[in-house]
Structure 1
């Protein structure tokens, strides 16, 4: 069933885009599991050259006794050319079938090919699939990282001018940010600057908890870098309590300047509760932290369309229920990542770290 059409807020009611990035991460709780991931994109040969993607993910269980155990992990190395065609790919754990992605586009049809090539990873929600599923969105957004590099700004401006008309039509009503009557689309259609909201980042690491995140390589320093970063915490109810499971998630896209300053492009928090008996979503709230335009945050009010959904179906259901101006491309990405909550719960149970 398609999602109901919800009226957009009046333009006069829109507030400036949010500019309150996360600082650190929540303290790991006893009886919890945390999945963290990163995807770094660099261009060793400069603007317009192939992208190098270096990614990693880790699942960490914290038992009732407070002891932490790494229960799963993955690494990924990919080269993508300027048409988003995959030219090389290696992974840990290795998957020979992924050779079927080489020479194929990393956008349209990519996720369907993943389902055909590595069905077990898709079904089990492995950390490797978590990384592979992130590639289409990351490779699409990543070139914005060159915006902060003065030597490449003229090239970006020429590209924007040459593709202006096609981009206006491609973006119209694709999400809440690009609503037809909104300022961003109007400015782009008139050839003006987008005046995108960019916010300096706070570190997400925790100085008193070296296990809060897995190890993430530093920016190269001599080239632009884009990073997509995720955290999903699942906290079990106390023993003998009939409570719900709590989910706390964070999503950040950021880039680095020549001076080594991290700047955020998109950032969301998502807070949810899950019925442990049915693994259905019983509560959810989206928390916009940094978004490009004043038209973007309105999508956060539509996440209740997902209430009652089985968690394992979210990768498919989000993009069917939060469509067009009801959704936000980056919020949808953050929500889809919650589909693996049942997998993370199973890790708590199978490791014997919860009752």
Structure 2
């Protein structure tokens, strides 16, 4: 099987989620994409906000399910508890979709509800489904040829595709798009996990967890992000995985410090993006999502780390839920 093995990045997936302790709040989401053929796919988007009471009892604060069917990433069918979702029919889940979502939800976006995270994150989840198509072709004996122009287009996109990165060098030397088979995905779940079905063969899943633990003047946060893929036999492997931990100053609602860790990434240069996370230290939590969207670009960053950091804005919604 022609998967690249000598230039891969870290391969150390998270093996379990921590339990919810009294006073903690958790937002957990999954976005599953199941291809029906090369053009059509079903998508299942789920989110759950959970609060742990002082006695350890768990209360579901918000629970969202969105089901959709797409053709070439264009929404043909969509359903969920919010009637506004119908206005997304005909929209393409790609460039410009986040602006459509902002217009759809309006002032709700400032409160960072779970529905907003799901729809905003759908763009990134849709983007990485290209891995599934690449994997299916490779295992079927079909390689993806590349030209020098295509390699040049990739170079500079992110840290893993810096002009001198090993993946870019591989594509230029072999005129092929490289592909990595990640480590087996340890099953995750437990407290606050939204219910869902197992990932189907050839499907992809984007999974998130954000825990917030208020403690007087500060609130600790612990974020986990994973993209995974199921092969033809249903064996699930990890494609991307990050964890980010830190603290929020409750009075100023700003990030006082944070630490980002690369758990699973395809290329050995990818962890070079970790230093970019420090650029949001001291920033107001409410500003993180927009700042990263406009300012975090190029070889000092990683698309998937950016998506992980953007989700930290949701800590304000969890803190507000605790106050209520």
Tell me the TM-score normalised to structure 2 length.
Answer: 0.92
1:283 alignment partner, SS class: strand
Q: Distance in 2 between matches of 1:325 and 1:100?
A: 36
Q: 1:57 aligns with which of 34, 47, 50?
A: 47
Q: Is the 8 A contact 2:42 2:70 kept in 1?
A: yes
1:25 matched to 2:3: no
1:42 matched to 2:42: no
Structure 1 residues 150 and 115, CA, compared in 2 at 3 Å: closer, same or farther?
closer
Q: Is the 8 A contact 1:230 1:250 kept in 2?
A: yes
Q: Distance in 2 between matches of 1:147 and 1:110?
A: 24
* Structure 2 residues not aligned, in runs of 5+: 1-6
Q: 2:213 aligns with which of 235, 241, 252?
A: 235
Aligned to 1:69: 59
Q: Is the 8 A contact 1:231 1:250 kept in 2?
A: yes
Equivalent positions of 1:322-337 (< 5 A) are 322-337=296-311
Q: Distance in 1 between matches of 2:134 and 2:297?
A: 29
1:199 alignment partner, SS class: coil
Report the CA distance between 1:164 and its aligned residue.
4.4
Q: Is the 8 A contact 1:305 1:321 kept in 2?
A: no
Q: Distance in 2 between matches of 1:292 and 1:167?
A: 19
Q: 2:161 aligns with which of 153, 178, 190?
A: 178
Aligned to 1:81: 71
2:211 alignment partner, SS class: strand
- 70-79 or 101-110: which moved more? 101-110
Aligned to 2:188: 204
Q: Is the 8 A contact 2:47 2:115 kept in 1?
A: yes
Aligned to 1:142: 129
Equivalent positions of 1:205-220 (< 5 A) are 205-206=189-190, 211-220=191-200
1:103 alignment partner, SS class: coil
Structure 1 residues 261 and 120, CA, compared in 2 at 3 Å: closer, same or farther?
same
Report the CA distance between 1:152 and its aligned residue.
6.4
1:319 matched to 2:261: no
Q: Deviations over 1:260-279 (max 9, x none)?
A: 21100000001121000111
Aligned-residue CA RMSD in angstroms? 2.0
Structure 1 residues 166 and 71, CA, compared in 2 at 3 Å: closer, same or farther?
farther
Q: 1:298 aligns with which of 272, 289, 306?
A: 272
Q: Distance in 1 between matches of 2:207 and 2:242?
A: 11
1:342 matched to 2:322: no
1:189 matched to 2:172: yes
2:170 alignment partner, SS class: helix
Structure 1 residues 204 and 184, CA, compared in 2 at 3 Å: closer, same or farther?
same
Equivalent positions of 1:113-152 (< 5 A) are 113-149=100-136
2:209 alignment partner, SS class: strand
Report the CA distance between 1:302 and its aligned residue.
2.0
Report the CA distance between 1:212 and its aligned residue.
4.2
1:95 matched to 2:80: no
Q: Distance in 1 between matches of 2:135 and 2:273?
A: 28
Q: Distance in 2 between matches of 1:247 and 1:172?
A: 34
* Structure 1 residues not aligned, in runs of 5+: 1-14, 351-355
